Structure 1
């Protein structure tokens, strides 16, 4: 299991953009499972929406991308490199993520050729699929 300190040794994200709290499963270069405990104190809830707080879908996608980044950048040959979005395809949001949710994030690499690749990403709350997307990336 990786905590915040270990995650920050792998990916460059920091508060308020670090959107994963722990990694419970990791196959270097292949896949990772991470969790985000969604708190009412998240900075995005100030304006999204004050009377009915909902985690923005783009931030769920970002959390999924960070989960994939941990998998890719933990591989020895990628240590110290950066990973960027190449695209977001087939994104679907199936339910809302609200304060108090424990967001489970699973990202698996399905194709990689050199610095380019594609990952399948799925987010769950209580084993219910709440979001999914195909994420393309490049390593620099």
Structure 2
């Protein structure tokens, strides 16, 4: 059986080439698979060394839900690039909407988040995605995301 899924993993160096985010805000460690214009699976290894754990919460470290959603959006950004080509140097993709966000399991140091991102549609530079984050096969978070392309004007 032949599929369009690219089984070649994308390592952190390639992720950094595609995304403008950097430490401590780069939240994707590796892409496991991509089916262009359809889906992507990526991971984030959660460690106690993450800066956000110093204050969320000191006695009981839990990854903030907003950062899980941000990681889903970063994975969606990689899917856009792998589906529709590299972004121009003056283009970025931004959140345009978050719907139906649900948090079902706490994410703690030592967990590996697996992101399953599905492209629902892409229209005039705006993509709609269904995103699921899992730990050990259990859903930790899920959301529908809207990601929009914006051309930046650096002449200001």
Post-superposition offset of 1:3 = 0.8
Q: Distance in 1 between matches of 2:70 and 2:85?
A: 23
Post-superposition offset of 1:76 = 4.6
Seen in structure 2, the aligned counterparts of structure 1 residues 29 and 82 have a Cα distance that, compared at 3 Å, is: farther
Superposition RMSD in Å: 1.2
Count residues in correspondence: 140
Q: What are the equivalent positions in structure 2 for 1:34-49 lying under 5 Å apart?
A: 34-49=42-57
Unaligned 5+ runs, structure 2: 1-8, 151-156
User: Does the aligned pair in 2 maintain the 1:10–1:74 contact within 8 Å?
Assistant: no
Q: What are the equivalent positions in structure 2 for 1:42-61 lying under 5 Å apart?
A: 42-61=50-69
TM-score w.r.t. the length of structure 2 is 0.86
TM-score w.r.t. the length of structure 1 is 0.95
Q: After superposition, what is the alpha-carbon deviation per residue over 1:1-35, rounded to whole angstroms, capped at 9, x for unaligned?
A: 01110001111111111001000011233321110
User: Does the aligned pair in 2 maintain the 1:60–1:123 contact within 8 Å?
Assistant: yes
Unaligned 5+ runs, structure 1: none
